[in-house]
Amino acid sequence: MTSDAASARPDPTAEVVDLCRDLLRIDTTNTGDNDTSVGERRAAEYVAEKLAEVGVESVLHESAPGRANVVARIPGTDPSRGALLVHGHLDVVPADADEWSVHPFSGELRDGYLWGRGAIDMKDFDAMVLAVVRHWQRTGVRPPRDIVLAYTADEEAGSDYGARFLVEHHRDLFDDCTEAIGEVGGFSYSVSDSQRLYLIETAEKGIDWLRLHAKGRPGHGSMMHDDNAVTALAEAVARIGRHRFPVVVTDTVRAFLTEVSDVLGIELDPDDPETAIAKLGPIANIIGATIRNTANPTRLDAGYKDNVIPGRATATIDCRSLPGQSELLERQLRELVGPDIAIEYVQRQPALETTFDGDLVEAMSAALRAEDPGARPVPYMLSGGTDAKAFSQLGIRCFGFAPLQLPADLNFSALFHGIDERVPVDGLQFGVRVLDRFLRTC
């Protein structure tokens, strides 16, 4: 190839910015309701078009009108090996433009950041993967084994129309996938100017969303009344909201805390991990949630008139269970709410945990170290849930690895679903370089 042709080729680290920006400008708000969720189909078509431009065929799988997923396969040099699944969701949580410094769907480039809902969750990674694949297609690079790309809908509302739909209705697409990477991992946490931890997700908590139902005797608000559903519900909600579940340190969290306390020079008391966790600054609230089951009341619903005592009242509790603890958590909750309140599960997905070892982990670590000599990869448990829950049901070993280098002073965890979500452009470009290296050696 002549040097002219080579220089006309877009550099993937430059192209990733345009791709991410384009994706941010497509409003893919997922409200949890098909009638008001928008844009996933447009985003899916955009991805399919960008893949088609470089000769990668993809298929759009629509689970309901407008709820679209895109899946493609990049053939590797060794077809006898199992494929690697690389997945990213295209939907985002809602954003209120009044609260933001820039319009949340403007994809504005300002102060070295790309701003917009989805900038770190997770159109950044969606764009990185596209940039790497487009670069490979243009330059004739083939991965060592098949790579399956899945861009999904509906991750932000439980994945029913996205990853779970694909797993239930198109599982043949993933038949030979043995491992997967997706959000939320591979990001940096600065220890000093020369040393950064990179948190690779090897575990995530289970989702146990439930509704409490209280029943009482309906009546007039002016009279004596001792069987009020609202009162009973409020008491149960308050008991749950104030409860602290016991500390349980799993293998992943123990490995994480050991590494972190070593590198930070913090004393780690195995009986009191909370003291060490409190010193972790911006990630303390994520890590702190991975040493116990949690239950946060999020919604209340009762009544229809100011002077009528309703016969029913309901509350939603967002619970997250440690690996293997979902049943235990249910028993703990039943004890807390007492016999008169009914518990209904609206979403129950298991926690995940895998080990931090093997060739794939080696490849991730090596790619990080090659781009950042001060990198120290560590396993960690995510307090939230991702599409990995659905894909792991197919026996796929899932990791959170969407590499990103972050400025030391950026409160990364606050940007997830937060106001002024943004991604540093140089961090995004770092991610492309790491991903390129990693996928060449996966």
The residues that touch Zn ion, with contacts defined as CB under 5 A, are 121-122, 183
Between CA 125 and CA 181 the distance in angstroms is: 11
Residue 241 in contact with residue 278, Cβ under 8 Å?
Answer: no
Task: Considering the complex, state which of residue 122 and residue 280 has its C-beta at the smaller distance from Zn ion.
Answer: 122
Question: Does the N-terminal peptide bond of residue 223 adopt cis geometry, omega within 30 degrees of 0?
Answer: no
Amino acid at 159: S
- Least CB distance to Zn ion at residue 124 (A): 10
Residue whose beta carbon is closest to Zn ion: 121
**Cβ at position 268, least distance to Zn ion in Å:** 30
Q: Considering the complex, what minimum distance in angstroms separates the CB of residue 261 from Zn ion?
A: 28
Q: Which one, 163 or 233, has the nearer CB to Zn ion?
A: 163
Of residues 10 and 384, the one with the C-beta less far from Zn ion: 384
Which residues, including other chains, have CB under 8 Å from residue 349's CB and lie 6 or more apart?
A: 158, 206, 207, 385, 389, 390
Cα–Cα distance measured from residue 393 to residue 404, given in angstroms and rounded to the nearest whole number: 27
**DSSP three-state, residue 89:** strand
- Pick from 51, 75, 81, 322: nearest CA to 179: 81
- Tokens (6 digits) for 285: 């609230």
How does DSSP assign 353-405, residue by residue? E--S-SHHHHHHHHHHHHH-TTEEEEEEEESS--THHHHHTTT-EEEE---B-
The 3-state DSSP class for residue 120 equals coil
Least distance in angstroms from the C-beta of 156 to Zn ion: 7
Closer residue to Zn ion in complex, CB, 108/183: 183
Q: Which two tokens stand for residue 409?
A: 């002073």
Of the two residues 46 and 125, which places its CB atom closer to Zn ion in the complex?
Answer: 125
In terms of CB distance, is 228 or 383 closer to Zn ion?
383
Q: How far is the CB of 252 from Zn ion (least distance, A)?
A: 20
Q: Which amino acid is at 369?
A: R
Q: Quick check: helix, strand or coil at residue 329? A: helix
Q: Nearer to Zn ion by C-beta: 124 or 183?
A: 183
Q: d(Cα 277, Cα 256) in Å, to the nearest integer?
A: 11
Q: Which is nearer to Zn ion, 122 or 432 (CB)?
A: 122
Strands (DSSP E) contained in 195-289 are 196-204, 206-215, 219-220
